[in-house]
Amino acid sequence: GAVVSQHPSRVICKSGTSVKIECRSLDFQATTMFWYRQFPKQSLMLMATSNEGSKATYEQGVEKDKFLINHASLTLSTLTVTSAHPEDSSFYICSARARGGERDGYTFGSGTRLTVV
Amino acid sequence: KQEVTQIPAALSVPEGENLVLNCSFTDSAIYNLQWFRQDPGKGLTSLLLIQSSQREQTSGRLNASLDKSSGRSTLYIAASQPGDSATYLCAVVGNQFYFGTGTSLTVIP
């Protein structure tokens, strides 16, 4: 089945630095990728939607200059947390939708646990 | 805006019991509904996907039903095992993906 590889799985960084998270679709072309954030004991919240070759669409309250999303190819999307602060510590998950669209469901990455110290 | 609610928020059962997790959503205009499992600190594992035209899907000990008109889905787990302990999330797909709040399941050996 469809597989999405997300790296790194865990990252600890110092406050003020930037962190890049990669999400790759291994055996299918992902026309759309989604990035989610999950704080402890809360549900997943959509941060942004990215379509290959175009700018990402951010959800209300998500700073686009802080969370840079690049979807340069049909198999790779990256999320860069710029100038990270402790309040950015969270669990980040990507998901991808294949060319078939909504009816084919979504495949999720394994997530990245970001800790900003 | 679509709202997805899961009841109960937490559930603890002895091993071997059958159990039902509930998911309700406010907007019936959905493409499909998915049930996921999430282990602590881990990503999501897709369990079952039900298309909007379908009523149920089965995989092993899991059975998920969908009643779009009433905005409800249930996940039935038969003969629960300690390894089933996890958080179960339902998500509906409309014009975007909406997650429920999750049910934390503990199966006691």
Q: Concatenate the DSSP letters of all residues of A71-106 into one string.
A: EEETTEEEEEE-S--GGG-EEEEEEEEETTGGGG-E
Predicted confidence at residue B95, as pLDDT, reads: 63
Predicted confidence at residue A68, as pLDDT, reads: 95
Which residues 75-104 of B have a C-beta within 8 angstroms of A? Answer: 89, 93, 96-97, 99-102
Chain B residues lying within 8 Å of A102, measured CB to CB: 31-32, 93
Confidence class for position A51, pLDDT limits 50, 70, 90: confident
**What is the arrangement of strands in the sheet containing A67-73, beginning at the earlier edge strand?**
A4-7, A19-25, A76-81, A67-73
Report residues of chain B scoring pLDDT below 70: 41, 95-96
Judged on CB neighbours under 10 Å (0-12, 13-18, 19+), B89 is buried
What would the mean pLDDT of A88-93 be, rounded to a whole number?
92
Which of A74 and A15 is assigned the larger pLDDT?
A15
CA-nearest residue to A45 within chain B is B99
